[in-house]
Amino acid sequence: MIIKEDLWDVLEDMGFSMGRDICIRHFANINADIRVDIVHEKIIYPEALQYERATTLNFSENENFVVLDCIVRLMEMGYRPEQIRLEAGVPGGHADNKAGYCDILVSDNDGNEYLIIECKTTEQKETDEFWQKL
């Protein structure tokens, strides 16, 4: 599991250029950068990557590092920032049909939303709580 104390090593393993205060990962295939501000504990995605809530843009939860890892992998595969939305509102599938938020919503080249990604840590409690909601 990725935790704040291990983040420096994880970022290096993910191909980030390790600066003193800010680590940067450049994606030449899509000409975009992800920055991680170590001092202010912020994850800075490209401006074209939209988000509805800023809950995954900081170091407050270990799950945010899982989201970061997933975004890095999507961008490595060539998904452009404008095809990715964080904390996107989605309709619920439960009897009460309440709307919820998914961690990542991905659109295809035509702008059609087609992939919902829900990130979890390996912490058993979080996983158990997620499965109980289904």
Residues 6+ apart with CB under 8 A from 1: 62, 121, 122, 123
pLDDT, residue 122, reads 77
> How many whole angstroms separate alpha carbon 23 and alpha carbon 36?
5
CB 106 within 8 A of CB 74: yes
- Please write the tens of the pLDDT for every residue from 101-122: 899 999 999 999 999 999 888 7
> How many whole angstroms separate alpha carbon 2 and alpha carbon 4?
7
pTM of the model: 0.86
pLDDT, residue 25, reads 98
Pairing of strands 84-90, 50-51: parallel
